[in-house]
Amino acid sequence: MPIVAIAGGTSPTLGRSIVRAIQSTSNVNTPIILTRHSDSAPKTKWNAAVRQVNYENHVSLVAALHGVHTVISVIKVEGPQWYDFQLNLLRAAKEAGVKRFAPSEFGLGPLADERVGLLALKGDVWDACQESGLEVARFNCGIFMNYLSMGCNFGGDEERVQEALAGLNDVEVIWDLAGDKAEEPLKCDGSSPRITLTDIWDVGKFVAGACELELGQWSGEMEMEGETIEVCKATELLEKYSGRKLKVTKVRRKELQAKAEAIDGMRIRKQVLNKMIAQFLMLEIDEEVGGALMEPTMNKLCPWVRAKSVEEYLQRCWRK
């Protein structure tokens, strides 16, 4: 069976989701995990074999990719290392004879590369992928639906926390259940923009489905959609199923632009993240396909994958 290597696959979010989904398919592919070399690195994770690598050592990477058919990267490191690791992995994949490569994307569409400062290098990585001669794809899913559960511990029920958050441990984007509040972007005409939300578990299923497609079927931009919904409607559904009343603040582009510009030049992590979130919200206000709206490309290519809607996700999370 073809080997699919998931770089950064020990992550409890996308790594676990993709590995689990591949293992659940009809014995088409075998997942393995690539992780950075460490004395504490496990030999197996999520019931998959683990290969230790040094992302700064070309020989190490080529050896680890021996016999691999497809490389899916979910590497998440802060700073310029992310860029270097991606390009090093791509070069090694080509030398090792890998057929397919997907860089670490899994977020907003390509317009974010131009308008969100921290994501600028993603465009350069994608250019390198397209010039590599490999069959490549970048998987974008909009915003993780799991942000609807950020800040909630579900009464200490770890099973429900895992199902709802899928390992997501990040800053709050739009919704903050710990503070019972939400910050909703508002369009110039006063209406609520639509955004695409996809559950992390469903992202894994779509990627597993893509790995089952025949060579030649990867189309480059392979976006996926859980549901495209107005932000205010998602908030209403969250209040309905959680039983909570959120304090909702509406923010317009002018406020977000001023916030982002005020942080220019600052390097404190919290400030950099706040600027990124402001730029995210402005991208949502733009309401453009390739920004915060996804084309259901993967939904059409893999019709056997049925992604959850926001209401279905919340019903499952907040079941009695």
Residues 11, 165 contacting (CB under 8 angstroms): no
Q: Locate tokens 């996809």: which residue?
A: 198
User: How far, in Å, are 30, 154, 155, 235, 249 from residue 242 at the CA level?
Assistant: 38, 10, 12, 10, 19
Q: Is residue 300 part of a domain?
A: no
pLDDT at 273: 81
The angle that helices 81-96 and 120-130 make with each other, rounded to 10 degrees, is: 10
Name the amino acid, one letter, at 113.
D
Q: How much is the average pLDDT of 189-202?
A: 97
**Per-residue pLDDT reduced to its tens digit, 234-283:** 999 999 999 999 999 999 999 999 988 887 765 677 777 888 899 999 99
User: Of 104, 97, 37, 32, whose CA–CA distance to 69 is shortest?
Assistant: 97
Residue-range definition of the domain harbouring residue 11: 3-141+199-221
Residues 173, 309 within the same domain? yes
Residues 99, 70 contacting (CB under 8 angstroms): yes
> Which residues, listed in sequence order, are joined to residue 35 by a DSSP beta bridge?
52
Q: Is residue 182 part of a domain?
A: yes
Residues 15, 35 within the same domain? yes
Q: Locate tokens 């509406």: which residue?
A: 250
Q: How much is the average pLDDT of 172-182?
A: 93
Three-state SS sequence of 289-309:
ECCCECCCHHHHHCCCCCCCC
Q: Is residue 298 part of a domain?
A: no
DSSP tag of 239: H
Residues 250, 289 within the same domain? yes
Tokens read off for 206:
């779509």
CATH of the domain at 183: 3.90.25
The band of 116, judged by pLDDT with boundaries at 50, 70 and 90, is: confident
Q: Is residue 256 part of a domain?
A: yes
Q: Which residues contact 240 (CB under 8 A, 6 or more apart)?
A: 314
The band of 24, judged by pLDDT with boundaries at 50, 70 and 90, is: very high
Residues 158, 266 within the same domain? yes
Residues 164, 179 within the same domain? yes
Q: Is residue 299 part of a domain?
A: no
Q: Is residue 38 part of a domain?
A: yes
Out of 221, 256, 280, a domain closes at 221
Q: How much is the average pLDDT of 312-319?
A: 92
Residues 117, 161 within the same domain? no
Q: Is residue 92 part of a domain?
A: yes
Residues 270, 175 within the same domain? yes
**Per-residue pLDDT reduced to its tens digit, 29-86:** 999 999 988 877 788 998 999 999 999 999 999 999 999 999 999 998 666 788 899 9
Out of 221, 253, 270, a domain closes at 221
pLDDT at 266: 58
Residue 215 exposure: Cα atoms within 13 Å on the Cβ side: 9
Residues 60, 209 within the same domain? yes
Residues 259, 149 within the same domain? yes
CATH of the domain at 97: 3.40.50.720
pLDDT at 105: 92
Residues 281, 175 within the same domain? yes
Q: How much is the average pLDDT of 109-116?
A: 89
Residues 123, 113 contacting (CB under 8 angstroms): yes
Residues 125, 256 within the same domain? no
Q: Is residue 111 part of a domain?
A: yes
Tokens read off for 264:
């220019």
As for how many domains the chain has, the answer is 2
pLDDT at 213: 95
Among the residue ranges 65-79, 125-139, 205-219, the one predicted with the least confidence is 65-79
Check: pTM over 0.85? Answer yes or no.
Answer: yes
Residues 291, 195 contacting (CB under 8 angstroms): no
Residues 58, 175 within the same domain? no
pLDDT at 279: 92
